[in-house]
């Protein structure tokens, strides 16, 4: 009985770990999207795309 409980606990622990790491990945994706959007705004103002890339590298 105890072995089964241990396995269940381990699975629950693993699930919570993956959930938090997925959240982290989504956070970083959102950050990148925001930066990209900022780059687009910058591009509309007449700054070259390569300058936007430099900005992206600095921020990350």
What are the tens digits of pLDDT across the range 9-52?
676 666 666 667 777 777 887 887 887 777 666 655 555 555 55
pLDDT of residue 24: 78
Letter string b/e over residues 21-60, b meaning 16 or more CB atoms within 10 A of that residue's CB: eeeeeeeeeeeeeeeeeebeeeeeeeeeeeebeeeeeeee
Q: What is the pTM of this model?
A: 0.34
Confidence at 60, pLDDT banded by 50, 70, 90: very low
Nearest-angstrom CA–CA distance, 42 and 37: 9
């Amino acid at each position: 009985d105890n072995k089964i409980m241990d396995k269940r606990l381990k699975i629950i622990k693993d699930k919570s770990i993956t959930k938090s790491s997925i959240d982290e990945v989504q956070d970083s994706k959102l950050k990148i999207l925001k930066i990209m959007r900022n780059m687009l705004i910058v591009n509309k103002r007449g700054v070259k795309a390569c300058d936007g890339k430099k900005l992206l590298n600095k921020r990350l």
